[in-house]
Structure 1
Amino acid sequence: MKKNKITTLLVGFAIVTNAQAPKQASTFTQKSNEAVYSKLNFDDTADFTDAKRGFIATLADGKILSKTGNVAVNLNDFAFIKGKSPATVNPALWRQAQLNNINGLFKITDGVYQVRSFDVANISFIETKNGYVVIDALTIGEASAAAYELVKKHVANKPILAVIVTHSHGDHYGGLEGLVAAEDIKSGKVKFITPKGFYEEAVSENVLLGNVMRRRAGYQFGLSLERSVTGQVDVGLGKPFLSGGSSSLLQPNFEVEKTGQKITIDGLDLVFQLTPNSEAPAELTVFAPAQKVFFSAEIASHTYHNVLTPRGAKTRDAKAWAGYLDEAIDLFGDKTEFIVPSHTWPVYGHDKGITFLEKQRDLYKYVHDQTVHLANKGLNKDEIAEEIKLPAELGKEWYNRDFYGTVKHNAKATYQFYLGWWDGNPADYDKLPQVESAKKYVEWFGGEKAALKKATESFQKGEYRWVAEVLKHVIFANPENVAAKNLQADAFEQIAYQSESGIWRDLYLSGAKELREGVIVPKNPVNRAAGFLATLTPEAIFDYLSVTVDGTKAAGKDVKLRFIFPELNKNILVYLKNGVLHQSQTRPNDKTEFTLTIPKAKFVNLLSNPETAREILTSDGVSFEGDPFKFRELASVFEPANPYWNIVTP
């Protein structure tokens, strides 16, 4: 077996075309950003008061180290965000970036604490007589461990009794092992509580589609960008410290199955609300009655969220989302004094909190309803996105601004949710592939030089969206046209500088960087296969392998194998037929051409390091029957994904 047949490798190469420094804001961008000051109330400082309220302590040097000694989180990276917004940043986004820069341990009310801005997400602690119940575990174990150390030092040194993960996104569960040992969760010593369907949805989003989502997330979260006034400043929800550290996905030992379900942990009463298909396919909120705290997860925070995230995911149900917020008001509103989101900062006070929930609810429902209204009038998704404008009573609230999700993007997402990608026009139904159509567009433009000349004239008029669109055709027709790439990069950059959304800024600046420098691949890319495979069930592993099958290579093959995992008492039939990989645990008597009995840990090692196959297959606890070449035949159809594919060039 060859290594590249079975494991996901980081492949690709750097293509440095024309590295150049970022440009400054154009006159048009400067005017656009300066106009923001007259549209919004920058004299309102209430958010800054709330974001600083209850501050206890933060990291002395602002750094969190990874297990290898590298800096995984450096709070100093964003120290430049102070004073008036520079011309290269939308002033509203700059304000949000300043608020998300306020980091450390905060007391919300008696017995309730939160650590913010050690990660893009927050981690909350509820103190009980004998320990803590934690809500959300951040992205990496190093960050969650640092947060816990602050709590132990400044509140009380107590053990963690339970961890509640509100939903199936990695920035809320990845750091779990920085708080508790996996063995303590498996044994039930520590409760790991999630919404029903959490594990399946986490696998679906982060494993099956993990490669493409990670690539697109690199754009959305600006992973290649410098932290600077011409680079990344914030993602709207918080600071994306994703440069290192360790994450894992563990199975919960307790699932919340219905709204209104109550549990008591060491005398702490908690009530749950299930909110599936809102911000995540599996999500819940938590109410602590004695503390009068509503933990709103991500269905309410200090920004408009995404109905469809740019990194790619299942489209969310905006109508249901608004309905859950309405339900939360009915369930918990009269008893709530504090609202604690999983991102950004808390809302203090009953009346203020209810207004916050109501206007967040109406934000999602307004864009939903108006999208459907305009679709029924015959407008397509692009036209709807240009048409919808929020009423002042919603749009002028800072927490309803487009810092993360945007009205335009969410209108298109809602259209897609109901009607799909097609707008009904036959001309858009079966269009030519983008490279082929690009060549024809350029020909119709009168050639590359003519197209570039017209694009330059448009750029000088400040028509950056049009320049970005038209130059895509030139670049996809001829990716070696450096002038076209540089001009499109300049257009992307100005759009980014004007963007209120942190992730819009990131994705445009990431596109500009790739146009100028090419796709940059690390010199020593990390093989992440073992890390994520180790946390998956065998069934999830085979689900993952099924989407790595190259259909062309698999065509005509008929292979039947059996995998037995004795310590898990699992007997799984795996067969390749009609170009599709299947698995079954209901056919234990079917004859197979190869049967492998192996502990799951060694199976993961086999998949991750197939060059050691002989050693693994002859080790203790491993046995096989039949033709091992059938295993090789199966492995031959698996195709490693390239996590560094081009986005802005063919």
Structure 2
Amino acid sequence: MHKILWAALLSTASATSAFAQDAKPASDATVAAQRSVATQLPAEDGRDLDFADRGFLGSLSDPIITNKDGKPVWNLGAYDWMADGQSPDTVNPSLWRHMGLLRKHGLYALTDNVWQVRGFDVSNMTVIKGQTGWIIIDPLTSRDTAAAALKLVNEKLGTRPVTAVIYSHSHGDHFGGVRGIINEADVKAGKVQIIAPEHFLAETASENVMAGPAMGRRATFQFGSNLTPGPQGQMGSGIGKGIGGGDITLIPPTIDIRKTGELREVDGVTLEFQMVPHTEAPAEMNVYMPAARTFLAAEIATCSLHNILTPRGAKVRDALSWSVFLNEAVNLYGERSDVIASSHCWPRFGQSEVKGWLAGQRDNYRYLHDQTVRMMNNGMTQAEIAEVLKAPPAIGDQWFNKGYYGTYSHNSKAIYQYYLGWYDAVPANLNPHPPEVRAAKMVAALGGAKKVLAEARKAMKAGDYRWSSDLLNQLVFAEPKNAEGRALLADSYEQQGYQSESAIWRNMFLTGARELRAGMKAGINAQSIDMISAIPTGLLLDSVSTRLDPNVIGNATLALNFVISDRKETAKVTVGNSVMFSEMGQVHAAPMVTVTGPRQLFLALLFLKMPAAQLQAAGLKIEGDRAAIEKLQAALDPMPGAFNIVEP
């Protein structure tokens, strides 16, 4: 049964998947835009190249990382074609420079007894030498890339066991590879500690299970998972190369960190933690290594402006708190650190670099926050603020503050949303028609499809791709099968992708173009069975309730008891008024049905919707009215798959 679940639910994203190549060259307008960008870039001082190369100890001889079945899941050399060439017309010159640094891969020494493996995934694995083994911070996204990274560590530094794992925060690229470096039996036996910030599992469930299907689909756009790396394709993610394929895994933490300044001795090494919740992740912490005078800033400071609200979707982050925590890091660790690193990108060396890097990003987030709020309080809307808000030169001319990942445009809208929500107070926007209806009316009002196409072509000839996309998006939503409109919209998206400094804006535009031309293809799916297995049962049942279809359940009332035998758990499940409530540790005195069995069978029942009779044959015990559980099961939406984004 476990194998059935695994096959049905685990992530199938592949770093090598791609649609057919239909890319067009850069237009004259795009060429002019790229040349203009090149003249406005800050002076190159060589520091980033020095820091990105410093401490290099080597990489794997074979660049292809495969899973247990021999299927490639990661290519270390995916960007070797860049070499030392000049930026092509289809890539923003600033992004080209940035990706030239991010493409580096291998094992790097940070200082005595501290190393990083970079370029083996979108994130970095940090390695600390303990008294008896390795302490690993952030074991990448997948079992396979993590195992390959540890293999490199052992090859270069000598084989040692992993004695502790630290999850810096609740995003999959910082815990998903854990089973590639340790096994759960050693954790249960007390041989390996797993340390995480408090509320880690709850926030992991919220993002990766509760909202996982929608986020996974949107992530195919953000990370360009169906694009091939190349001058007309994917150019990384702004904070790393991309998301690798392979199994996303999770072993629950054994130790929670709850306060800033908390000290822990881990395998003979003293570590100090800074809690930074509701910044880049709802549950997040930084790690300071006093003996090494090294500060790991997790993901609140990287080589790029980050996202206050990621395009893939997440809870809106608190930009003000983000700047406050960065200021706290300056005060607590600036004078005590000679090296600063993060869980993405390359490190920086020297006390002045540590303080300057933290303070510069602190000022960036504070400026973003304060100026957005100032304009908001003067009556400006999200779109109006996003159009005019730019970083001042003192902030924006620092390479690490540029928008390779997050952008001022998207982040200012997110800050507005954090305080005021999506509604801009214009009554016309309070209850507009849904996109398809609005599109049909808009196209008719403009004079029909031919008129829209003519206006769009005029806009594209002038290089106004924002307007052409706006027009053509209306046409495609009004007439999805209009081949000329789809093709032209794809061309418009593509040129905007070429011009984007943000890697993820590039990915989203180019993925939109690719789907208009070649159709939809699923990519990243965050819902691996291993992650679901590690989530507390109560949180899983809350996720199940979000799939209850009121049109199917109707006015039915149900009283069910679940007994999860292998975890010695009980759950009281009540359905009424088209709502499902579950209460852990409780039972109905007179249930309609009691279902007993191991949690894997409950996952099959509620997530895969396998027939109750079939599961009974596999060992699930159903006492009472089986029709009650079958009625609940029938009312649950199937696990969501891919859905349309660039067309209705």
TM category, shorter: over 0.9
Change (3 A) 1:635 1:597: same
Mapped contact 1:67–1:245 kept (Cα < 8 A) = no
What is the identity, as a one-letter code, of the residue corresponding to 2:59? T
**For the Cα contact (< 8 Å) 2:608–2:638, is it kept in 1?**
no
Q: Secondary structure at the match of 2:532?
A: helix
Partners of 1:42 and 1:579 in 2: CA distance = 61
- Report the counterpart of residue 484 of structure 1 in structure 2: 485
Residue identity matched to 1:25? A
Provide the residue aligned with 1:14 in structure 2.
none
Distance 1:239 1:9 in 2: 22
Residue in 1 aligned with 2:603? 604
Q: Report the AA paired with residue 576 of structure 1.
A: V
| RMSD of aligned residue pairs (Cα, Å) | 2.1
Q: Cα distance, 1:612 vs. partner? A: 6.4
Counterpart in 1 of 2:131? 129
Contact preservation (8 Å) 1:305, 1:406: yes
- In structure 1, how many angstroms separate the alpha carbons of the residues matched to 2:234 and 2:621? 52
TM-score (norm 1): 0.94
Tell me how far apart the structure 2 counterparts of residues 589 and 574 of structure 1 sit (CA, whole Å): 8
1:121–1:164 Cα change, 3 Å: same
Aligned pair partner of 1:98 in 97, 100, 110: 100
Secondary structure of residue in 2 paired with 1:285:
strand
Q: Aligned AA for 2:584?
A: Q
Deviations 1:58-116 (A, max 9, x none): 01021111121101111122111231110000011011111011100001100000000
* Counterpart mapping for 1:15-30 below 5 A: 21-30=22-31
Change (3 A) 1:536 1:43: closer
Instruction: Tell me how far apart the structure 2 counterparts of residues 644 and 568 of structure 1 sit (CA, whole Å).
Output: 33
Aligned to 1:15: none
Match of 1:623 among 621, 624, 630: 621
Percentage identity across paired residues of the two chains: 39
Counterpart CA distance in 2 for 1:353 and 1:529 is: 37
Counterpart Cα distance in 2 of 1:603 and 1:333: 50
How far did 1:567 drift?
Answer: 3.1
CA distance in 1, matches of 2:24, 2:467: 19
Alignment check: 8 A CA contact 1:184 1:190 kept: yes
Distance in 1 (CA, whole Å) between partners of 2:525 and 2:353 is 47
Q: Helix, strand or coil: the match of 1:496?
A: helix
CA distances 1:423-445 after superposition (whole Å, capped 9, x unpaired) = 11111111111111111111110
Shift of 1:514: 0.8
Q: Give the equivalent residue in structure 1 for 2:379.
A: 378
Q: What residue is the counterpart of 1:513 in the other structure?
A: 514
> Residues 455 and 467 of structure 1 are in contact (CA less than 8 Å); yes or no, is this contact kept in structure 2?
yes
Q: Is residue 109–residue 291 contact of structure 1 (8 Å, CA) maintained in 2?
A: yes
Under a length normalisation based on structure 2, what TM-score does the superposition of the two structures give? 0.95
AA at the equivalent of 1:648: V
Deviation at 1:603, TM superposition (A): 2.7
Give the letter aligned to residue 224 of structure 1.
Answer: N
Query: Cα gap change, 1:97/1:132 in structure 2, threshold over 3 Å: closer, same or farther?
Result: same
Spell out the pairing of 1:307-322 with structure 2 (5 A cutoff): 307-322=308-323
The 3 A distance-change label for structure 1 pair 189 and 612 is farther
Higher relative contact order (CA 8 A, sep 6+): 1
Tell me how far apart the structure 1 counterparts of residues 346 and 566 of structure 2 sit (CA, whole Å): 45
User: How far did residue 9 of structure 1 move?
Assistant: 11
Give the secondary-structure state (helix, strand or coil) at the position aligned to 1:145.
helix
Q: Contact conserved, 1:339 with 1:353, CA < 8 A, in 2? A: yes
Q: Secondary structure at the match of 2:334?
A: helix
2:643 is matched with: 645
Q: CA deviation at 1:615?
A: 4.8
Q: Is the 2:562–2:573 contact (alpha carbons within 8 Å) kept by the matching residues of 1? A: yes
* Alpha-carbon distance in structure 2 between the residues aligned to 1:153 and 1:582: 52
Q: Which structure 2 residues correspond to residues 224-623 of structure 1 after superposition, within 5 A?
A: 224-242=226-244, 244-520=245-521, 530-585=529-584, 587-607=586-606, 611=610, 613-619=612-618, 622-623=620-621
- How far 1:172 sits from its partner (Å)? 0.4
CA spacing shift, 1:121–1:552, aligned 2, 3 Å: same
Name the CA distance, whole Å, in 1 between partners of 2:586 and 2:601: 24
Report how far residue 608 of structure 1 moved: 5.7
Q: Deviations over 1:357-376 (max 9, x none)?
A: 10000000001000001111
State the alpha-carbon separation in 2 of the partners of residues 19 and 588 from structure 1.
Answer: 55
Residues 318-373 of structure 1 show CA distances to partners (whole Å, capped at 9, x for unaligned) of: 00000000011111111111001100000100011101110000000001000001
Which residue of the partner structure matches residue 112 of structure 1? 114
Which secondary structure state, in structure 2, belongs to the residue aligned with residue 324 of structure 1? helix
CA distance in 2: counterparts of 1:10 and 1:238, whole angstroms? 20
1:8–1:126 distance in 2 versus 1, CA, 3 Å: closer
For residues 28-83 of structure 1, give each alpha carbon's deviation from its aligned partner in whole angstroms, at most 9, with x where no partner exists.
11111112222113532211111010000101021111121101111122111231
Is the deviation greater in 554-563 or in 271-280?
554-563
Alignment of 1:25-44 (within 5 A): 25-41=26-42, 43-44=44-45
Q: Gaps spanning 5+ residues in structure 1: where?
A: 12-17
Separation in 2 of the partners of 1:139 and 1:129? Answer: 27
Are residues 582 and 187 of structure 1, via their aligned partners in 2, closer, same or farther at CA, if it must alter by over 3 Å?
farther
Deviation, 1:233, is 1.4
Equivalent position SS for 1:185: helix
CA contact (8 A) 2:605 2:633 kept: no
Counterpart code for 1:142? D
Contact 2:134 2:160 in 1 (8 A): yes
CA shift at 1:610, angstroms? Answer: 5.0
Q: In 1, distance between residues paired with 2:111 and 2:11?
A: 46
Deviations 1:577-604 (A, max 9, x none): 1111110135435311110121223333
Cα pair 2:213 2:525 within 8 Å, conserved: no
Uncovered stretches (5+) of structure 2, i.e. residues with no partner: 13-18
Measured in 1, the distance between the counterparts of 2:195 and 2:562 equals: 31
Matched residue of 1:571: which SS?
strand
Tell me, in whole angstroms, the C-alpha distance in 1 between the residues paired with 2:119 and 2:203: 26
Q: Please give the alpha-carbon distance, in whole angstroms, between the structure 2 residues aligned to 1:301 and 1:53.
A: 17
Runs (4+) of structure 1 moved beyond 3 Å?
Answer: 7-11, 525-533, 605-616
Distance 1:254-1:495 versus aligned 2 partners, 3 A rule: same
Distance, in Å, in 2 between the alignment partners of 1:27 and 1:125 is: 48
Structure 2 residue aligned with 1:166: 168
Give the deviation of 1:150 after TM superposition.
1.1
Contact preservation (8 Å) 1:275, 1:284 = yes
Offset of 1:183 from its aligned partner? 2.3
Q: Aligned-pair distance for 1:317?
A: 0.2
Which whole-Å CA distance do the structure 1 matches of 2:503 and 2:528 have between them?
30
Which residue does the alignment assign to 1:632?
630
Please say if 1:198 is aligned against 2:197.
no
Contact residue 293 and residue 339 of structure 2 kept, 8 A = yes
Deviation at residue 220 of structure 1 after TM alignment = 0.2
| Deviating more after overlay: 347-356 vs 533-542 | 533-542
Q: Secondary structure at the match of 1:80?
A: helix
1:186 Cα deviation from its structure 2 partner: 3.2
